[in-house]
Chain A
Amino acid sequence: MKRLVGASVPLLAALVAFLFGAVMILALGENPLSGLAAIIDGAFGTGDRLAATAVRAVPLLLVGAGITIAFRANVINIGGEGQIIAGALLSTVVALVIPDTPKVLLIPLVILGGLIGGAIWGAIPGALKAYASVNEILSTIMLNIVAIQLMNYLLRGPMIDPIEVDGSRIPQTERLTDNAALPTLIEGTRLHLGVPIAIVAAIIVYVILWRTPLGFKLRAVGHNPDAARAAGISVERNIVKAMAMSGALSGLAGVTLVFGSESLRMVTDGGSAGFTGSAGFNGIVAALFGALHPLWTIPSSFLFGSLLTGATELQRELQIPNALAIALNGLIVLFVVSSDKVRDWLARRLDSSTGQKVDEPPAPDSTPEATPESVA
């Protein structure tokens, strides 16, 4: 019973958020039902649109899977944006420096570059937290800003597309080598290699967290650093590892944004969301909605991806600004986060109605990892 309540609350939260969205559409003088139809049509209407949705979900899933690692180790990584940028920059440098490397070699090298770039950008706040007690929420947010400015500098200066130097000076690289482009999986759609990579990455994160000694240590540190330390687990080192892994996955998201794009270049508009499209934040949302479980984050990312692509159709058909999708995103976060409170409250109500309010042991964790499949 309690478990059912636990699972249904996030869905309920999403539903309430959509109701708010419906009210907003009404306020704009349109029919919410046709709005919903437009979103669904835009996200799933054709094979092409479905592929676009999957591609939109890729960075969310990669960032989200990374976030689950950090959050499980009780490190609140808000630095997805910066880590995406760091990964994208380093992988772009790789493609710029050795463009003539054969495809089979260059794609793995580019991916490696992205992983390393993101890992470094994550490990810095991890180390600051572990060894200098610097609050990671602040340091990751600050490093987002540093990364954005670094990107702006590099894309306007050393890495700028040569033909832009005397032109309009759009901050972007030249078109990168086709050898580094993520191959398209279905001809005629945008569905590229990034989609299976992201899904496999989420599965690997799940395996690491619940099937390996490394994940065991990360979770032990996250739940109770004192007991972990007394048992001989290095809290500091595992915090850095969690952040490095989390950053690496965001860096990989950066790779998919560059090498999965149609323009095949790294481009920004000078603003904060210009390059990432806020994937570093939306990925956190997807992870939270997925109950911080890498496998649940797969459908959750797809849902948010569909919201993003659907909003484009909403704008085209009903002239409703696609900012509505962003608002909906925010509302869902708000409701999902507060739904923890609702869930606690519901659980207490269920307890007291059976008269067991004090003598009962604490309710077991209602997040999905408490399923019987995870023995250790």
Chain B
Amino acid sequence: MSAPVLQMRNITKTFPGVLANDDVSFDVHAGEVHTLLGENGAGKSTLMKILFGLYQQDSGQILLRGETADITSPTDAIEKRVGMVHQHFMLVPTLTVAENVALGLPSDRGLRTDLDAVSKRILSISEQYGLQVDPDVEIWKLSVGERQRVEIIKALYRDAELLVLDEPTAVLTPQEVDDLFVILRQMTANNTGIIFISHKLHEVMELSDRITVLRNGRVTGDTTPAETSRQQLADMMVGREVKLAPDKPVQDLGLVRLKLRGVTVKGDRGTIAVDNVDLDVHAGEILGIAGVSGNGQRELAETIAGLRPAEGGSVQLDSTDLSKANPKQSRAAGLSYVPEERMKDGAVGEFDVSENLLLINHGDKRFLRRGLFNFDAIRTHCQKMVDDFAVKTPSLTTPTSSLSGGNIQKVIMARELESSPAVLVAAQPTRGVDIGAAEYIHSQLVVQRSNGVAIVMISEDLDEVLGLADRIAVMFEGRIVKIVDRENATKKDLGLAMAGAG
């Protein structure tokens, strides 16, 4: 085998108080997908920023095609044929695909760019790799998946031999993920080296040729999919044995606690988002709602929580009719809600941890003395919640926005479960959350199930739904198109139903 496209040797990078990369070695050969796997803060981003010239390593060496390379800036990296597709796309929405690709490139025609020539080359690249995209269409008209293709084309247009994809699947639907993987395989067949950054284990197992696992800035594993398993990868990422699917005691279904009949809801654009949905959720069960994002799940959750009025139908919790309830009334009836967008609807970023823990019950007599906050009682109470839910925070007065996603989610969960709810609606409870926190959140959901809470868990992650739910409903275009018991569910059938073909 020839020299690797990229060798990073013994890279060490420290920030004040943090050892971000500790003697990390990593290489990529032409035509392979090498995955960098690790939790948030494991050092993946730092390593890639060093490769892309955004940071300089304290020590260690970078070799490109066998020769020492000193990468000082992203421009420098691009000239050395390293391409990067960032998680947040770097595209100008009002410009066309061709204009975006041509941005920053020198042109034969001096100040003017020969867009026809650019378009022509984009088309030939598209054909070669199966990246279908119209060069003359404006970016804002494109779907997220298509925008990502434009980013990849940008890199290929600049003759990238090494392409870094930072969590590329985070924003894609399962179908788009499949399409992306086809494109990536086409690229490796053409000898491009790919660095794939992800924490979704099944994707990593499916796509990778080699896998390097990072934890706390160090390499903790260097393996291939054939030699390892999802379980082992998770253990290497977290540094201890992880339960990917929690143990769920068998238990009988209780009474129906949440009952939806003919619920119809309009979305933000005034079109029907939830169409005539009937659901019964029993005490002690987790009902998983699967589906590609944007098929009415968010609107359904908001309606149950009292945040979005229903156009028709009824929502009943135990014996209380919540069809016209506001959030306060829903909560008084025994509903708890973990929203999908935790920084928008779940937590007040500027508030500190204890304030967010009290967001619902700050008026409780326990926390007041003569009408004023009793800070001793509040501290004691919040400290216990933080301890119970293993929230990692420097203090109770730390601004919540400075915590990691997983810890913010734990704060929200702790708050929502504190009231011993009858029904819990949890939307995307572990999205963007690292494995350790996800494991903990899952275990808490199972505890609540054992306590007889009726749980509605909305998730795009089929593994999560299959691992936790007792029954699974699939939503497509606002309707429940399929509802099955867990033991009768297969990934394939659910996937088909999610695509509207069930």
* A residues neighboring B (CB under 8 Å): 207, 211-213, 216-217, 219-220, 223-224, 226-234, 354-356, 358-359, 361-362, 364-365, 370, 372, 375-376
B373 in complex: contacting residue of A212, A233, A354, CB < 8 Å: A212
Look across to chain B and name the residue whose beta carbon is closest to the beta carbon of A356: B15
CA of A362 to CA of B403, assembled, Å? 10
The reply to whether A361 and B402 contact each other, CB–CB distance below 8 Å, is: yes
Contact between B327 and A232 (Cβ–Cβ < 8 Å)? yes
Residue ID in chain B nearest A208 by CB atoms: B372
Shortest CB distance B378–A (Å): 5
User: In the complex, are the beta carbons of B327 and A220 less than 8 A apart?
Assistant: no
A228 vs B358: C-alpha distance when bound (angstroms)? 11
Contact partner of A229 (CB less than 8 A), chosen from B16, B327, B358, is: B327
Distance between Cα atoms of A358 and B52 in the complex (Å) = 14
Which residues between 165 and 180 of chain B lie within 8 Å of chain A, taking CB atoms?
none
Task: Give the chain B neighbours of A220 by CB distance below 8 A.
Answer: 348, 351, 355, 359
B399 contacts A362, CB within 8 Å? Answer: yes
Contact check: which of A219, A227, A358 meets B49 at CB < 8 Å?
A358
Chain B, Cβ-Cβ closest to A232: B328
The answer to whether B375 touches A376, judged by C-beta atoms less than 8 angstroms apart, is: yes
B220 to chain A, nearest CB (A): 20
Not counting A216-B358, A375-B379, a sample of 4 additional A-B residue pairs whose C-beta atoms are within 8 angstroms of each other reads A356-B16, A359-B20, A372-B397, A375-B375
B112 is an interface residue with CB less than 8 A from chain A: no
Residues of B near A359 (CB, < 8 A) are 15, 18, 20, 45-46
Nearest A residue (CB) for B302: A230
Contact B350 A365 (CB under 8 A): yes
Q: Which residues on B sit within 8 Å (CB–CB) of A232?
A: 326-328, 330-331, 360
Query: Once the chains bind, are A376 and B358 in contact (CB under 8 Å)?
Result: yes
Complex CA gap A344/B490 in Å reads: 53
CB 8 Å contact bits of B409-423 with A (1 = contact, 0 = none)? 000000000000000
A227 to B49, CA, bound (A): 34
B339 within 8 A of partner (CB): yes
Q: Which of B359, B367, B368 contacts A227 (CB 8 A)?
A: B359
Supposing A224-B349, A230-B327, A365-B350 touch, asked if A376 and B307 sit within 8 A by C-beta, the answer is no
With contacts A213-B362, A234-B326 taken as known, whether A227 is within 8 angstroms of B348 at the C-beta atoms is yes
Bitwise, B352-391 to A at CB < 8 A (1) or not (0) is 1011001110110001100111010011000000000000
Q: Which of B296-354 contact A (CB under 8 A)?
A: 305, 307, 326-328, 330-331, 337, 339, 344-352, 354
Asked if B362 contacts A216 (CB within 8 A), the reply is yes
In angstroms, Cα B339 to Cα A224, docked, is: 14
Is A230's CB under 8 angstroms from B373's CB?
no
User: In the complex, are the beta carbons of B350 and A226 less than 8 A apart?
Assistant: no
Determine if B396 and A375 form an interchain contact, defined as CB atoms under 8 angstroms apart.
yes
Q: Give the CA-CA distance A355 to B367 in the complex, in Å.
A: 42
Q: Can you list 17 A-B contacts (CB < 8 A)?
A: A212-B372, A216-B373, A220-B355, A224-B349, A226-B344, A228-B348, A230-B307, A231-B359, A232-B330, A232-B331, A232-B360, A361-B402, A375-B354, A375-B396, A376-B352, A376-B358, A376-B375
Judging by beta carbons under 8 Å apart, are B373 and A362 in contact? no
Taken together as a complex, chains A and B put the C-alpha atoms of A207 and B399 apart, in Å, by: 21
Interface residues of B in 3-38 (CB under 8 A from A): 15-16, 18, 20
Q: Are the C-beta atoms of A361 and B378 separated by less than 8 Å? A: no
Residues B33-64 near A (CB distance < 8 A): 45-46, 49, 54
CB distance from A375 to the nearest CB of B (A): 5
Residue of B nearest to A360 (CB): B15
A293 to B305 CA separation, bound complex (whole angstroms) = 35
CA distance A112 to B307 in the complex (A): 38
What are the residues of chain B within 8 A of A372 when measuring CB–CB?
A: 397
**A355, B399: Cβ atoms closer than 8 Å:** no
Contacts of A227 in B (CB 8 A): 344-348, 359
Q: Is the CB of A365 within 8 A of B354?
A: no
Q: Is the C-beta of B401 less than 8 angstroms from some C-beta in chain A?
A: yes
In the complex, how many angstroms separate the beta carbon of B144 from the nearest chain A beta carbon?
23
CB-CB under 8 A for A212 and B401, given A230-B327, A232-B328, A232-B331: no
Contacts of B371 in A (CB 8 A): 212
| Nearest-CB residue, chain A, relative to B46 | A359
Q: Indicate if the CB atoms of A213 and B350 lie closer than 8 Å.
A: no
Residues of chain B within 8 A of A361, CB atoms compared: 401-402
Bound form: Cα–Cα A233–B360 in Å = 8
- What residues on A are CB-neighbors of B337 within 8 Å? 230
Instruction: Kindly state the separation between the CA atoms of A370 and B363 in the bound complex, as whole angstroms.
Output: 22
Give CA–CA (A224, B359) in the complex, Å. Answer: 11
Closest chain B CB from A374 CB (angstroms): 8
Whether B345 lies near A230 (C-beta < 8 A) is yes
Which of B350, B351, B396 has the largest count of A CB atoms less than 10 A from its CB? B350
Of all chain A residues, which has the CB nearest B335?
A232
Tell whether A231 pairs with B16 under 8 Å between CB atoms, given A224-B349, A375-B396. no
Q: A356 to B371: give the CA distance in the assembly, Å.
A: 43
CB-defined contacts of A219 to chain B, threshold 8 Å:
351
What residues of B have a CB within 8 angstroms of the CB of A207 in the complex?
Answer: 372
A231, A233, A234, A356 — which one has the most chain B CB atoms within 10 A of its CB?
A231
A376 near B373: Cβ-Cβ < 8 Å: yes
Cα separation A232 to B339 with both chains bound (whole Å): 13
Within the complex, the shortest CB–CB distance from B367 to chain A, in Å, comes to: 8
A207 vs B371: C-alpha distance when bound (angstroms): 11
Residue contact B368 to A213, C-beta cutoff 8 Å: yes
**Residues of chain B contacted by A211 (CB below 8 angstroms):** 372-373
Residue from A216, A234, A355, A364 in contact with B355 in the complex, judged by beta carbons closer than 8 Å: A216
Q: Which residues of B contact A226 (CB under 8 A)?
A: 344-345
Chain B residues contacting A370 (CB-CB under 8 Å) are 399
Q: How far apart are the CA atoms of A296 and B326 in the complex, in Å?
A: 38
Interface centre among B326, B355, B401 (most CB of A within 10 A): B355
Q: CA separation between A267 and B66, bound complex, in Å?
A: 87
Q: Kindly report which residue of chain B lies nearest to residue A361, judged by CB atoms.
A: B402
In the assembled complex, the CB of B468 is this many whole angstroms from the nearest CB of chain A, namely 23
A101 to B201, CA, bound (A): 80
Residues of A within 8 A of B331 (CB): 232
Of all chain B residues, the one with the shortest Cβ separation from A213 is B363
Q: Tell me which residues across on chain B come within 8 A of A365, comparing CB atoms.
A: 350, 399
Which of A216, A223, A234, A364 is within 8 Å of B328, CB to CB?
A234
Interface pairs A-B: 4 shortest CB-CB = A361-B402, A232-B328, A213-B363, A231-B359
Given contacts A354-B16, A355-B16, contact A376 B378 (CB under 8 A): yes
Bound-complex Cα distance A314 to B20 (A): 61
Contact partner, A223, options B54, B349, B397, Cβ 8 Å: B349
* Chain A contacts for B46, CB-based, 8 A: 359
Cβ distance A220 to chain B, nearest Cβ, rounded Å: 6
A230-B346 CB under 8 A given contacts A211-B373, A359-B46: yes
Docked complex Cα distance between A213 and B373 (Å): 8
Task: Say yes or no: B49 contacts A229, CB within 8 Å.
Answer: no
A330 to chain B, nearest CB (A): 30
